[in-house]
Structure 1
């Protein structure tokens, strides 16, 4: 029975992103990606003809995940800003893994920097539209950044989100 080509591409991207997280761009070689995904190097090259194409595929995946996240934010209605903050501290999700991979790539790749900038702009735009105040939208985004940073480096406090929600409630949010 033939394997689904789309599943193989996703598995290759998963492996690439995992290797980026664990070993950086230098450790995410084509050979390492193929081995981690359990495919031949030829199989990898069939889907992604070069490391540059893997990078492009990973950044395109990030873009798709951000579009989905923005739609979920909008679906939260009046809770949009709360949704953003609650999900800012999530780790291990596909979006989190793609963000980490893009962050590792951004150390030496302009396309990755651009993708991360577009990600932040998409989140800011939806927060700003919801809150109607660019300064407040930026403040909420920066709080989310801090929560994400703390969670990813094991510095998170269990009650951090409760503190943030308390302050936002005082502001009428």
Structure 2
């Protein structure tokens, strides 16, 4: 029975992202990725001929996930900035895992740094287009960053979003 190539690629990318999170770039070897994904090393090399191609695949997936996220933001209409904040603290999602992987890669990979920069710019531009105020858009983005950081390190407060929403309401947002 033939396997679905795109399903195998996703399994490999998921394994790579998980290993980056758990062990950094040194632990995300081709052998470890293949083993984690349950694919032979030859199967991995069929889809990704090198670690550089695996990195490129991971960053391309991040780009796609961010584009989907921006579309979801836009679909929220007048609540766009609230949607951004409400989803900033989500962990365990495909986008979250992809962001963590890119963050690990960015420690030693300029393409990953550029991908993260592009991600932030896409979110900022979407917020800025919606709010019409670059300072306010940056403030909302930084609040979202703080919420994401706190959630990923187990520092989150249950009522943090409620505090932020009360402040935004005072500002007429």
Alpha-carbon distance, 1:17 to partner: 0.1
User: How big is each residue's C-alpha offset from its partner over 1:96-135, in whole Å with a ceiling of 9 and x where there is no partner?
Assistant: 0000000000000000000000000000000000000000
What is the distance in 2 between the residues matched to 1:60 and 1:41? 22
- Cross-structure match for 1:18: 18
- What stretches of structure 2 of length at least 5 have no aligned partner? none
Separation of aligned partners in 1, 2:170 and 2:141: 18
Q: What residue is the counterpart of 1:89 in the other structure?
A: 89
1:76 Cα deviation from its structure 2 partner: 0.1
Q: How does 1:9-88 map to 2 (within 5 A)?
A: 9-88=9-88
Distance in 2 of aligned mates of 1:141 and 1:4: 38
Taking the aligned partners of 1:170 and 1:151, their CA distance within structure 2 comes to 25
> Which residue is 2:127 aligned to?
127
1:31-53 deviations in whole A, cap 9, x for unaligned?
A: 00000000100000000000000
RMSD across aligned positions (CA): 0.3
The number of equivalent residue pairs is 173
User: In 2, Cα distance between the equivalents of 1:166 and 1:54?
Assistant: 43
Provide TM-score, normalisation by structure 2.
1.00
Corresponding residue for residue 99 of structure 2: 99
Which 4+ stretches in 1 moved above 6 angstroms?
none
TM-score by length of 1: 1.00
